[in-house]
Amino acid sequence: MRETELWSNLRAVLGAGYAPIWADSVVHAGLGGRTVTQALADGLPVRGIWLAACANLEVPEHLR
C-alpha cells in the first residue's frame, strides 16, 4: 500500500475535510501511541498504519 492510497482510503471513510484532522489528532495504541501523521513521519509501514486506523474506526473487514 502506498501513502496516497492510505490518504484516499481515509478520505473515503472520514470525508475529505475531516481525514487530515483525524490523522493529526487521534493517537493509536497499535501505532505505539502515535497519530497516523506521526507514524508516517517515523517511517512505519503504511499498510500497518491503515490497519491500525481501521481497527480504531471499526472499518468492516471487506474494506480493509
Residue span of the structural domain in which 32 resides: 3-59
The pTM of this model reads: 0.92
Please identify which residue in the block is written with the cell numbers 505505539. 32
Question: Is residue 40 a part of any domain in this protein?
Answer: yes
Question: Is residue 7 a part of any domain in this protein?
Answer: yes
* pLDDT exceeds cutoff 90 at 2: yes
What domain count does the chain have? 1
What percentage of the chain reaches a pLDDT higher than 70? 100
- What pLDDT, on a 0 to 100 scale, did the predictor assign at position 19? 97
- What pLDDT, on a 0 to 100 scale, did the predictor assign at position 64? 85
Rounded distance between C-alpha atoms, residue 43 and residue 9, angstroms: 19
Question: Is residue 64 a part of any domain in this protein?
Answer: no
Query: Which set of grid coordinates corresponds to residue 45?
Result: 509501514
Question: Is residue 17 a part of any domain in this protein?
Answer: yes
- What pLDDT, on a 0 to 100 scale, did the predictor assign at position 1? 93
- What pLDDT, on a 0 to 100 scale, did the predictor assign at position 49? 98
